[in-house]
Amino acid sequence: MPIRLAPIAVAAALVTPLAWATPAAAESTTLKAVIFEDVKPLYQKTDAGYEGLGVDVLEQIRMQARRRKVQYTSANSVKEGLNAVITGKADIACGVAFTWARSTQVNYTLPFGIGGTRLLTASDTTVDGTPSSLSGKTVGVVKDSASAKVLKSVVPGVTLKPFDTPALALAAYDSGDVPILGGGTLWLAANSSPASTALLPLRPYGRSGIGCIVSQNNGKLLSNANLAIGQMMQAYMDGDAGTRHMVERWIGPESSVGLSREVIQALYGLILNVTAEISTTVTPAR
């Protein structure tokens, strides 16, 4: 029988007292999460803290790992965030694009999304996303990001203007300081407007899984995170209303990202089929 997740709003109330039993080490009651790509739809700063798909995924992991709370720390750069996980200053970071270089330093969980490098520009642009149309153009990117490395590799004729944070890169694009912004599809889509902007090219320059990272000596947390993410995807495919609302409010058809339910189901089905276990409805033989 597939495991269904309760809606986020009531999930904490359903955790039994046993799940919150105090472990030997006091610090292990807190799941320390670092955010080094503070971007919609994964993370948004609010008066109360943070919200976003990354926050909801971390809440699932917190419950599975039997932690009392999640403590967030914002890193000033990708390098600083990775170092926080590697050294143990942080336990986990979620919403991280996979790269082979990063995988030599940290362990990745199952992906809960797929990202790709694309461009955000004005809807009346003459750029079509091909290397020739970008020759001599300036594109704003986040320094040391996976997308910056992809663009440098596949579009050698472009001039990349790096910014230390996603917020600074987006502000430069909004002000006209850079006419084109390069980055992950989810981030760009969440900050786009169908009436005034275009996302190019139709197919991303490169794709990568988006998951969570933990240090290479924290196998227990890795296992708990994989179980939580796998159950979340299975519950979504099973039609659990709370899980579907949790996911779709950030990336679903009514969100700024605008993915259809069918697309999300296909993605989660693919991930579970090739990396984990998936429960399916079986038609009895006649």
Helices 219-238/241-251 angle, 10° precision: 100
CA distance linking residue 66 with residue 68, whole number of Å: 7
What are the pLDDT digits (tens) for 45-104?
A: 888 889 999 999 999 999 999 999 999 999 877 888 899 999 999 999 999 989 899 999
What are the pLDDT digits (tens) for 130-159?
A: 988 998 999 999 988 889 989 999 888 899
Scan for tokens 């495991």, then name that residue.
3
Q: 8 or 69: whose pLDDT is higher?
A: 69
The model scores a pTM over 0.85: no
Helices 219-238/261-275 angle, 10° precision: 140
Q: Are 98 and 149 in contact (CB under 8 A)?
A: no
Scan for tokens 């984990």, then name that residue.
276
Q: Which fold has domain 116-205?
A: D-Maltodextrin-Binding Protein; domain 2 (3.40.190)
State the CATH architecture for 8-113+208-275. Answer: 3-Layer(aba) Sandwich (3.40)
pLDDT of residue 88: 94
Residues of each domain in the chain carrying CATH 3.40.190.10: 8-113+208-275, 116-205
What are the pLDDT digits (tens) for 20-51?
A: 333 334 447 999 999 976 588 999 888 888 99
Contacts of 270 by beta carbon, 8 Å cutoff, 6+ apart: none
pLDDT of residue 167: 87
- Categorize the per-residue pLDDT at 280 as very low, low, confident or very high, splitting at 50, 70 and 90: low
Using the predicted structure, report yes or no on whether residue 170 has a pLDDT greater than 80.
Answer: yes
pLDDT of residue 221: 97
